[in-house]
Amino acid sequence: MNCNIEITPGLYYVGANDYRTQKFEALWTLPHGVSYNSYLMVDEKVALIDTIEAKYTETFLTNIRNILGSRGIDYLIINHMEPDHSASIAAVRRAYPDVQIVGNPKTIDMINGFYGICHNMLVVKEGDTLHLGEKDLTFYPIPMVHWPETMATYCPQEKILFSGDAFGCFGALVGGVIDEDICCDIYWDEMYRYYASIVGKYGVPVQNALKKLAPLPIDIICTTHGPVWKKYTKKVIDIYDRLSRHESEKGVVIVYGSMYGNTARMAEEIAQAIGSQGIDKVVLYDISTVDKSVVLRDIFRYNSLIIGSATYNTGLFPDIEALLSALRNREVKSKVYGCFGSFSWAGRAVKELTAFGNDMHWTMPGAPVEMRQGFSDAIIGQCRELAKSIAAELKKC
Ligand SMILES: Cc1cc2nc3c(=O)[nH]c(=O)nc-3n(C[C@H](O)[C@H](O)[C@H](O)COP(=O)(O)O)c2cc1C
Ligand SMILES: [Fe+2]
Ligand SMILES: [Fe+2]
């Protein structure tokens, strides 16, 4: 984006859209792009809040210069050190040699480690306030959302929270930056996907952050990815609250790995049977073709998960194994769970999927279905029984 947008008097958006990166963190697809947001607060003093990804440093500096002209920047506030936000710190320092860099002790240490910058730093702690003139900025560390140094910055006069990655989402900003000025349809799915992919492991720290920030009246959230939240502030806080408590909607995700289609057939049978039990939210994914972040998104969204796998080299289908690892890593909670799978000479997949459900302490209302070699009426019956048990459990929720 090559435009500057005034959010409130004296507060400007100076970030950029990225439509070129194919995978965020080299992992997560970006069908709608992503924005790296940075904000410039112009008062008696000038404060820049966060920087942006290295590919867009020149756009970023141009955006800043278009607003400031020959004026300098007094403070560069760093809420988060992940390189999608910190990569332009050195460039800002080169362009504005007198800028004082503001961060908590962990941030300051990382700035030295990443970029070798250690002079003219202002170390802040919880509740410290920087007076810019008419406006103040107060700092609230929110550790592990999703790095240890993460911090939120709050402007009490405008009731604006600069939240770092918290309340962020994938999706570039099209036609404006404030939610009320643009169509927000794409951002809700993209928020679930962003949360599940990036923040999903850190539910407890997100809850701690929400509790810490709860006393602050917040009208506007300026996050580092996605729209500036003004119209939907409450909705966005609510989504992050629910996701971080692992609260989900009624619905079933069926995901399977299948080399030759036998396990896929079981998945179809189970999906049909669940639908016929009156559960209308059923999504079915072949793990080998689907975007993994979409599967994670829906696992965070829905309260039931059924995983299937063919036995592959005495273990799970490799992509299913990777999915289990991602779910274990995120400590995904309270699923109504079922599993199924197949083998030809020595079954392994269903044993591992069953053990996984137990390890995760999920509710397993139905018997796992294990197929040897080919499909049969008996297997169809067992798939239907599993579906019935899952549906019955969901009806209790
Ligand atoms: C590469 C490969 C490795 C396999 N490894 C095993 C194995 O270790 N143990 C086993 O019982 N079956 C093994 N099988 C057989 C499959 O698990 C079995 O045929 C299964 O029903 C295939 O399901 P699908 O049609 O969904 O791919 C293997 C099959 C392939 C193609
Ligand atoms: Fe981040
Ligand atoms: Fe980020």
| SS3 letters across 11-49 | EEECCEEECCCCEECCCEECCCCEEECCEEEECCCEEEE
Q: What number of helices (H) and strands (E) belong to the chain?
A: 12, 22
**Rounded to an integer, what distance in angstroms lies between the CA atom of residue 135 and that of residue 200?**
34
Which atom, in ligand 1's list, is nearest to the CA of 259?
Answer: 27
The torsion defined by the Cα of 262, 267, 273 and 277, in degrees rounded to 10, comes to 170
Residue identifier of the C-alpha nearest atom 29 of ligand 1:
312
Domain spans, the chain? 5-244, 252-392
* pLDDT for the residue numbered 4: 57
**Rounded to an integer, what distance in angstroms lies between the CA atom of residue 95 and that of residue 352?**
56
Pairing, β 369-372 against β 336-343: parallel
Is the minimum distance from the CB of 343 to ligand 1 under 6 angstroms? Answer: yes
In 3D space, the residue among 255, 295, 258, 277 whose CA is nearest the CA of residue 387 turns out to be: 277
* pLDDT for the residue numbered 220: 98
Is the minimum distance from the CB of 311 to ligand 1 under 6 angstroms? Answer: yes
In 3D space, the residue among 372, 386, 315 whose CA is nearest the CA of residue 349 turns out to be: 315
In sequence order, the β-bridge partners of residue 130 are: 137
Q: Which of 255, 258, 286, 311 to mutate to test the pocket of ligand 1 (most atoms within 8 A of CB)?
A: 311
Which atom, in ligand 1's list, is nearest to the CA of 349?
Answer: 17
**Rounded to an integer, what distance in angstroms lies between the CA atom of residue 136 and that of residue 376?**
70
Fold: same for 5-244 and 252-392:
no
* pLDDT for the residue numbered 3: 53
**Rounded to an integer, what distance in angstroms lies between the CA atom of residue 319 and that of residue 165?**
28
Just give the CATH number of 252-392: 3.40.50.360
What distance in angstroms lies between residue 343's CA and the mean position of ligand 1's atoms?
Answer: 5
Sheet strands (E) in 119-166: 121-123, 129-131, 136-141, 151-155, 160-164
What distance in angstroms lies between residue 367's CA and the mean position of ligand 1's atoms?
Answer: 21
Alpha carbon distances (Å) from 61 to 17, 41, 50, 224, 258 = 14, 15, 12, 17, 50
Q: Please answer whether residues 34 and 25 qualify as being in contact, where contact means their C-beta atoms are separated by less than 8 angstroms.
A: no
* pLDDT for the residue numbered 397: 85
* pLDDT for the residue numbered 2: 43
Q: Looking at the CA of 15, which ligand is closest?
A: 3
pLDDT along the chain (397 residues), means of 10: 78 98 96 98 98 98 97 98 98 98 98 97 98 98 97 98 98 96 97 97 97 98 98 98 96 98 97 96 98 98 98 98 98 97 97 98 98 95 98 94
pTM: 0.95
Residue with tokens 């829906």: 298
The highest-level CATH class for domain 5-244 is: alpha beta
Q: 73: left (phi > 0), else alpha (psi -120 to 50), else beta?
A: beta
Residue with tokens 């009246």: 217
